[in-house]
Amino acid sequence: MRVRGLRKEYPGHTAVDGIDLDIHRGEVFALLGPNGAGKTTTVEILEGHRRRSAGEASVLGVDPGRGGRAWRAKLGMVLQTATDAAELTVAESVRHYARYYPRPRDPEEVIKQVGLTEKANTRVKSLSGGQRRRLDVALGIVGRPELLFLDEPTTGFDPEARRRFWELIRLLALDGTTILLTTHYLDEAEALADRVSVIANGTIVAEGSPATLGGRAGAEATVRWEDATGPQERRTATPTALVRELSAGGGELAGLTVTRPTLEDTYLELIGPHS
């Protein structure tokens, strides 16, 4: 996927302001940002659901504004909001969607992967919010997509369901599926993404791996400990040297911890000037 100078303008408002993206085949790429930053608008343009105002975009080698039926069959989508056939059962829904694709996954296997086997014969209208979200995921992957769009996919999932979903995403990526993920869960991005972009006010403010985003890998560490005078804290770029220096006196360093900024710390610092 290649995006250059992507813009989306509305009267009196620019939702996406000239962003560039490169997402490689088989990569899990996370697009992070606060509400209203332009994430969903960007995803909808790349899905072919919304027209861009300017810029270039190539998704699986096709302009998403002109993608036809064969191109759409290569995409999987889990949108923030989805409509469904409330009177159908879970199994009927997944089987129905499977018929739209030339080489779908086995519907029963997909239902198992998203943790809905026990609800396979339950009508969709009777599912809980989290269960309906799992069904959305099942419908998004049943077509065996080459590119999977996941827009806030685990909203409403309990912790166990989120972990199962993460394993599913890892398996899809190992199978060569390219995945574009938006999420408000920073631990989810850190667990799944090969690379991350942070968008704020319609522009990309940082990009990199979760470990290096915004200079995180080289950021100063915070060393905390207690000595005879009470709690101590110091920020340093060389924590090992500081710990060695503190230990040289032979005194006990109670409660010694060394921490670097989390992904959430870095993210909040990046979007701070734009919020």
pLDDT in tens, 161-213: 888 888 888 988 998 999 999 998 899 999 999 999 999 999 999 999 998 89
Radius of gyration of the chain (CA): 22
Whole-number pLDDT of residue 30: 96
Residue 155 has pLDDT above 70, yes or no: yes
Inter-axis angle of helices 129-141 and 90-98, to 10 degrees?
Answer: 20
d(CA 25, CA 176): 7
d(CA 132, CA 84): 9
- Average pLDDT score over the chain: 90
Residue 51 has pLDDT above 90, yes or no: yes
User: E-assigned strands of 1-111?
Assistant: 2-10, 13-22, 28-32, 54-58, 75-78
Classify residue 81 as exposed, middle or buried by CB count within 10 Å of its CB (0-12, 13-18, 19+).
Answer: exposed
Classify residue 9 as exposed, middle or buried by CB count within 10 Å of its CB (0-12, 13-18, 19+).
Answer: middle
* Higher per-residue confidence, 7 vs 235: 7
Whole-number pLDDT of residue 131: 86
Q: What is the pTM of this model?
A: 0.83
Residue 78 has pLDDT above 70, yes or no: yes
Residue 56 has pLDDT above 90, yes or no: yes
Whole-number pLDDT of residue 165: 84
> Please, are residues 15 and 41 in contact by the beta-carbon 8 Å criterion?
yes
